[in-house]
Amino acid sequence: MTAKLDVTLKTTEQNQIVRTGKSEAEVTNNKKLRSRYCTIEAMKLKLLHEAWRGLFAIAELLVKLTVLVFSDRYKRIAMCL
């Protein structure tokens, strides 16, 4: 016969309080701080991703512009020959 493990969030918090010797308020505060940190890190990662996409788009435009400029020069040189 297997025993059912009934681990709820409250039980987990109570175990954490006992293990760390912190009050319930301290444990809750730590959870909130951890949650905020994860949210901030996710936002930073999203902004970094958007910045890279913007830089890639600029680089792509520069390559196209360079190709146009040089192809125009080659056309002019070919016309002079």
pLDDT > 70: what percent of the chain? 70
Instruction: Report pLDDT for 57.
Output: 92
Over the Cα atoms of the chain, what is R_g?
30
Q: What is the mean pLDDT of each run of 10 residues along the chain (81 residues)?
A: 54 65 73 81 89 92 87 73 62
- Run of H or E including 71: helix 24-80
Instruction: Report pLDDT for 26.
Output: 75
Residue 74 CB partners (closer than 8 Å, separation 6+): none
